[in-house]
């Protein structure tokens, strides 16, 4: 369980101290580069076993927010608790890192070891896992991301394809067996096939292995289908927090902060504007299937 209590963060704490009011922002959406506050008074609780989506326009503070979750960044004011422990303390933060795995954007850019094995083993070795368990740990991690352990273990990560590199980087975090997995745009820059596979992997981790997942994404379609709750950031403040159906209920409001609603819902909204109102299911219109059903229901109702 991760709890954010009134967390504000500034890149320039000295200047922020002079203007302690994390109040008004000037930019329309996103933060202007000189903006004092990257996060303003953020409070929420992430429950165990949850699939938590984070959305928001570029520069709204998403990446800064998740870097608070394993203590990489300490709040300028406010507190982050992981399992009830305040992680502003350096030692608490480094203990937390074994439990909270953070996969950065384009994680393949952080590969460095001369073999896939060593790269995946980097995390567990840092955590002090005994060397005799290493082969088993690495094998499992690579299997989880659908890579053939025997085929890739001795290869240089730089010889692999882009999609494979990303999976190795993923495996490097999974090898630490985190209970919470934070993914910053995991599918960015992948082709549609790679994207589908990666999201399927994330679903499997959450569904079968019970990992708590926090996922930042620009694809509202993915978030709406996968997430239990979505947190929307705007200019560093919590703009909305709730189930996808609640968050995307007001398409106009979403648009005003530079956020799209999922494509099927958008389709239904346009139809409604043209005078064809579809029945709105309680869970929202977030998949093509539910859209087809709604259209079919409307069509049948008409006859």
Partner 1 sequence: MARSIIFGRYSPGKSPIHRMDPRLKLTAVLVAMVVILMSNTYPALAVAAAFVIGFYFVARIPASTALKSIAPLLFIVVLTALLNLFFVQGGTVYAQLGPLVISQEGVHFAIFLSLRLTLLLCMASLLTLTTTTLDLTDALEAMLKPFARFGFPAHEFAMVMGIALRFLPQFADELHTIRQAQLSRGAKITANPFKGGLSGLSSLMVPLFTSAFRHAETLSAGMDARCYHGGSGRTRLDPLTFTRLDVAGLVAIAAMAVCVVAAGMFHM
Binding residue (CB under 8 A) for partner 1 from 67, 88, 115, 287: 67
| Both structure tokens of 195 | 């994207």
Cβ proximity to partner 1: between 56 and 262 the closer is 56
Binding residue (CB under 8 A) for partner 1 from 11, 29, 81, 149: 11
Q: Which stretch binds partner 1 (CB under 8 A): 64-72, 234-242, 272-280, 288-296?
A: 64-72
Q: Which stretch binds partner 1 (CB under 8 A): 66-74, 189-197, 253-261, 266-274?
A: 66-74
Cβ proximity to partner 1: between 98 and 257 the closer is 98
- The answer to whether the beta carbons of residues 236 and 25 sit under 8 Å apart is yes
Binding residue (CB under 8 A) for partner 1 from 32, 151, 158, 207: 158
Binding residue (CB under 8 A) for partner 1 from 42, 80, 173, 232: 173
155 near partner 1, rule: CB under 8 A: no
Q: Which SS3 state, helix, strand or coil, does residue 286 take? A: coil
Concatenate the DSSP letters of all residues of 263-281 into one string: HHHHHHHHHHHTT-PPP--
Cβ proximity to partner 1: between 164 and 265 the closer is 164
Cβ proximity to partner 1: between 69 and 240 the closer is 69
Q: x-or-dash pattern for partner 1, window 110-129, by CB under 8 A?
A: xxxx--------xx--xx--
Q: Which stretch binds partner 1 (CB under 8 A): 1-9, 96-104, 130-138, 212-220?
A: 96-104
Cβ proximity to partner 1: between 172 and 262 the closer is 172
104 near partner 1, rule: CB under 8 A: yes
Cβ proximity to partner 1: between 104 and 117 the closer is 104
- Reference 126, options 159, 172, 179; nearest CA is 172
- Reference 165, options 222, 98, 120; nearest CA is 120
Number of residues that bind partner 1 (CB under 8 A): 25
Q: Tell me how far CA of residue 133 lies from CA of 119, 123, 136, 302, in angstroms.
A: 15, 13, 6, 65
Rounding to the nearest 10 degrees, give the CA dihedral for residues 198, 202, 205, 206. Answer: -160
What is d(CA 213, CA 190) in angstroms, rounded to the nearest whole number?
Answer: 20
- The answer to whether the beta carbons of residues 248 and 224 sit under 8 Å apart is yes
What is d(CA 124, CA 131) in angstroms, rounded to the nearest whole number?
Answer: 9
172 near partner 1, rule: CB under 8 A: yes
What is d(CA 299, CA 139) in angstroms, rounded to the nearest whole number?
Answer: 53
In angstroms, what is the minimal distance from the CB of 251 to partner 1? Answer: 32
- The answer to whether the beta carbons of residues 171 and 142 sit under 8 Å apart is yes
What is d(CA 114, CA 77) in angstroms, rounded to the nearest whole number?
Answer: 41
In angstroms, what is the minimal distance from the CB of 45 to partner 1? Answer: 22
Cβ proximity to partner 1: between 123 and 264 the closer is 123
What is d(CA 109, CA 103) in angstroms, rounded to the nearest whole number?
Answer: 11
Q: Which SS3 state, helix, strand or coil, does residue 81 take? A: strand
102 near partner 1, rule: CB under 8 A: yes
Site residues (vs partner 1, CB under 8 A): 11-12, 67, 70, 72, 94, 97-98, 101-102, 104, 107, 109-113, 122-123, 126-127, 158, 172-173, 176
């Amino acid at each position: 369980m991760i709890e954010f209590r009134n967390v504000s963060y500034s890149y320039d704490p000295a200047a922020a101290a002079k203007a302690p009011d994390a109040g008004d922002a000037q930019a329309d959406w996103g933060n202007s580069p000189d903006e004092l506050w990257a996060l303003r008074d953020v409070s929420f609780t992430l429950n165990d076993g949850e699939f938590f989506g984070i959305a928001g326009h570029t520069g709204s503070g998403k990446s800064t927010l998740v870097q608070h979750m394993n203590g990489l960044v300490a709040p300028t004011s406010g507190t982050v608790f992981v399992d009830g422990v305040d992680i502003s303390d350096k030692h608490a933060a480094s203990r937390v890192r074994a439990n909270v795995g953070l996969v950065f954007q384009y994680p393949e850019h952080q590969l460095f070891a001369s073999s896939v094995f060593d790269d995946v083993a980097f995390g567990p070795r840092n955590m002090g896992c005994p060397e005799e368990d290493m082969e088993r740990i690495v094998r499992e991690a690579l299997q989880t991301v659908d890579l053939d352990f025997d085929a890739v273990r001795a290869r240089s990560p730089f010889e692999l394809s882009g999609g494979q590199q990303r999976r190795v980087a993923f495996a490097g975090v999974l090898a630490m067996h985190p209970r919470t997995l934070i993914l910053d745009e995991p599918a960015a820059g992948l082709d549609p096939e790679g994207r589908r596979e990666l999201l399927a992997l994330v679903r499997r981790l959450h569904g079968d292995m019970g990992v708590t997942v926090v996922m930042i994404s620009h694809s509202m379609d993915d978030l709406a289908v996968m997430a239990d709750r979505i947190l929307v950031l705007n200019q560093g403040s919590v703009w909305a927090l709730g189930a996808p159906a609640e968050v995307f209920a007001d398409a106009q409001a979403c648009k005003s902060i530079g956020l799209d609603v999922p494509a099927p819902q958008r389709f239904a909204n346009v139809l409604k504007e043209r005078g064809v109102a579809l029945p709105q299911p309680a869970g929202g219109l977030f998949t093509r299937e539910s859209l087809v059903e709604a259209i079919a229901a409307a069509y049948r109702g008409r006859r």
